[in-house]
């Protein structure tokens, strides 16, 4: 990849030339975006998490 | 800044849950203390015509909530609320009544069922309260009442620190406290993994094979009904008397249903004088306590049962038809 960016010495410099990273990278670094992502992770973990609550086991036949 | 955004969003979610979390036709299979508390608060503000308290028979075991008799009565326009749950018993009914009393709910009518099998010490709910009901009602019970009960044992899947943390978070975060009710509403099961497993079982045919293997046969119910005369020390009897005393003290009219029982299936065990004597004893006790008794013990045919006492959708429909005029009186 470094070979494709003339003059780039490391990955950061390569990414700096990448148009996708320029848009996404800025958003990822934005605190509001990070806060929203963290919020979604917390909600998804709770909704899709395993049930650990004590459950009354109904015994039938 | 990130933490602030997270906290604001979580607070907004909690406010939305407080405002819009639905009230279900019946408590979920795995209902939380937070849901029960919320339901009781709602009942205190808007008392229904009748509150059903009872076990899985009134809850609508193995049936969608829409097919349970109390829901059918509600669909007919009666203001009915179903606080029955799987694993009910006189002790649980009493604890629920104490909770309603403490939160200022004064129902116009209480309908509860009395199931002969729950007088057996072998019954899973004989001395145990549902954990969520236990959380809310334990402080309301007297020392003597607590001694009659076996508290829910500590969790075997969670470490004490996890349990403490869980309680702490539950105390202030409504969304987390209602997670078990939310999961059941979304997935129809205790969690997504169980729901997925169920879907696989259905798709592979394993569920159909398992259901076929679990056809109720009489031998599975040997010992379910204790036919010895109901002893004064019987925990269910003690709590049944407490139910009657509480209803009389609070001037709450009540209807007691003698639970439908599949006499065809259980013929060799319960079609004996001892069963009839215990049933007559219970009936007399209820009538002496000022409760209207509806005897459904022999009302239903074998084809209307799933097993020993749980009714099919058609059975629930007939039960609703029988209870409609009783509730309208």
Residue B51 phi, psi dihedral angles, 5° rounding: -115, 125
- What are the pLDDT tens digits along chain B (329 aa)? 888 999 999 999 999 999 999 999 999 988 999 999 999 999 999 888 899 999 999 999 999 999 999 999 999 999 999 999 998 999 999 999 999 999 999 999 999 999 999 999 999 899 999 999 999 999 999 999 999 999 988 777 778 898 899 899 999 999 999 999 999 999 988 889 989 999 999 999 998 888 887 788 888 888 899 999 999 999 999 999 999 999 999 999 999 999 999 999 999 999 999 999 999 999 999 999 999 999 999 999 999 999 999 999 999 999 999 999 998 87
Please state the pTM of the whole predicted model: 0.89
List residues of B whose CB lies inside 8 A of any A CB.
Answer: 1-6, 8-10, 13, 30, 32, 56, 61, 86-87, 124-125, 128, 130-131, 152, 155, 157-158, 166, 175-176, 179-180, 182-183, 186, 190-194, 214, 216, 220-221, 307-308, 310
Eight-state DSSP code of residue B25: S
- Whether A34 sits inside 8 A of B182 (CB atoms) is no
Q: Would you say B235 and B121 are in contact if contact means Cβ atoms under 8 Å apart? A: yes
User: HSE-up of B247 (CA within 13 Å, CB side)?
Assistant: 29
Convert B76-94 to b/e letters by CB count within 10 Å (16 or more is b). eebebbbbbbbbbbbbbbb
Please tell me whether the interface predicted TM-score (ipTM) of this complex is above 0.85: no
Geometric angle at alpha carbon B128, from B237 and B45, rounded to 5°: 90
A-B contacts at Cβ under 8 angstroms? 87
Strands across the sheet with B254-258, in order?
A: B80-82, B50-53, B110-114, B254-258, B292-295
Question: Left (φ > 0), alpha (ψ -120 to 50) or beta: where does B29 sit?
Answer: alpha
The helix/strand/coil state of B293 is strand
């Amino acid at each position: 990849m470094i070979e494709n960016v003339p003059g780039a010495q490391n990955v950061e410099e390569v990414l700096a030339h990448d148009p996708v990273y320029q848009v996404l990278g800025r958003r990822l670094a934005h605190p509001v975006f990070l806060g929203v992502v963290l919020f979604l992770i917390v909600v998804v973990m709770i909704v899709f998490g395993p049930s650990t609550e004590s459950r009354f086991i109904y015994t039938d036949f | 800044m990130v933490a602030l955004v997270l906290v604001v969003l979580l607070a907004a979610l909690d406010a939305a849950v407080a405002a819009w979390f639905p009230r279900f036709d019946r408590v979920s299979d795995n209902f939380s203390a937070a849901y029960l508390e919320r339901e009781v608060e709602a009942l205190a503000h808007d008392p229904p015509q009748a509150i059903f308290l009872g076990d899985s028979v009134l809850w609508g075991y193995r049936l969608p909530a829409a097919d349970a008799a109390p829901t059918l009565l509600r669909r007919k326009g009666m203001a009915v609320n179903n606080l029955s749950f799987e694993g009910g018993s006189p002790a649980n009914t009493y604890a629920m009544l104490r909770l309603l009393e403490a939160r200022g709910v004064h129902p116009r009518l209480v309908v509860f069922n009395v199931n002969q099998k729950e007088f057996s010490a072998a019954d899973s709910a004989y001395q145990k309260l549902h954990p969520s009901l236990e959380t809310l009602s334990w402080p309301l019970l007297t020392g003597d009442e607590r001694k009659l009960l076996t508290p829910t044992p500590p969790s075997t899947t969670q470490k004490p620190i996890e349990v403490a943390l869980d309680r702490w978070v539950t105390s202030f975060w409504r969304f987390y406290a209602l997670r078990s009710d939310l999961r059941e509403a979304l997935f129809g099961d205790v969690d997504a993994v169980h729901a997925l497993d169920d879907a696989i079982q259905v798709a592979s045919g394993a569920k159909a094979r398992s259901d076929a293997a679990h056809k109720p046969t009489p031998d599975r119910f040997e010992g379910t009904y204790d036919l010895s005369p109901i002893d004064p020390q019987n925990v269910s009897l003690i709590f049944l008397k407490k139910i009657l005393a509480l209803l009389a003290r609070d001037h709450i009219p009540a209807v007691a249903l003698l639970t439908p029982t599949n006499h065809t299936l259980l013929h060799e065990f319960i079609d004996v004088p001892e069963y009839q004597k215990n049933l007559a004893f219970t009936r007399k006790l209820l009538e002496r306590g000022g409760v209207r008794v509806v005897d459904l013990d022999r009302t239903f045919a074998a084809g209307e049962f799933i097993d020993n006492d749980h009714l099919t959708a058609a059975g629930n429909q007939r039960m609703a038809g029988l209870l409609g005029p009783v509730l309208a009186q």
